[in-house]
């Protein structure tokens, strides 16, 4: 998967696993993903979560026939972090013809829950 010239490249997001039932991605906690006080930015968590959900939807849909777009995302930030790596693990909760819903848990290196998110993805026919 080519991440060049994308938000994912800018944030340092890396793909670890892409399967129909599981997507795993990592992101550094550093100056690219900090908020002004030096903690992991909630928006960076949301970007990581939506990226993992979108990639999961992409591998579950036919990319020749469909575009994948985020429709809705929520993110509950339960723990702060100043440095290191966070890992997003996304699993599908619903795989429909026009929408998919993915649950994404973001954890730190010690498997502490940092953020839990739910993302609805639109599956839109190409014209």
What pLDDT digit, counting tens, does each position of 38-51 carry?
Answer: 999 999 999 999 99
In the structure, what pLDDT confidence band is assigned to residue 122 with cuts at 50, 70 and 90? very high
User: How many angstroms separate the CA atoms of 72 and 121, rounded?
Assistant: 7
User: How many angstroms separate the CA atoms of 11 and 66, rounded?
Assistant: 26
For residue 102, the model assigns a pLDDT of 98
Q: What is the DSSP string of 16-54?
A: EEEETTEEEEEEEESTTTB-TTSSB-HHHHHHHHHHHHH
For residue 38, the model assigns a pLDDT of 97
pLDDT at residue 1 greater than cutoff 80: no
Residue 50 designated active-site = yes
Of 9, 14, 50, 103, which one is the catalytic site residue? Answer: 50
Q: What is the pLDDT of residues 65-111, one digit of tens each?
A: 999 999 999 999 999 999 999 999 999 999 999 999 999 999 999 99
Mean pLDDT on 15-38: 98
For residue 2, the model assigns a pLDDT of 75
Indicate the fold that domain 7-125 takes in CATH: Thiol Ester Dehydrase; Chain A (3.10.129)
pLDDT at residue 59 greater than cutoff 90: yes
């Amino acid at each position: 998967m080519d991440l060049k010239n994308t938000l994912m490249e800018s944030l340092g997001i890396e793909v670890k696993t892409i399967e129909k039932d599981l997507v795993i991605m990592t992101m550094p906690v550093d100056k690219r993903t900090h908020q002004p006080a030096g903690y992991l930015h909630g928006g960076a968590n949301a970007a990581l979560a939506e990226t993992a959900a979108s990639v999961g939807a992409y591998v579950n849909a036919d990319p020749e026939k469909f575009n994948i777009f985020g429709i809705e995302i929520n993110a509950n930030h339960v723990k702060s972090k100043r440095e290191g790596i966070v890992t997003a693990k996304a699993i599908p909760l619903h795989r429909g013809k026009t929408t998919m819903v993915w649950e994404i848990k973001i954890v730190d290196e010690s498997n502490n829950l940092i953020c839990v998110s739910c993302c609805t993805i639109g599956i839109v026919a190409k014209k």
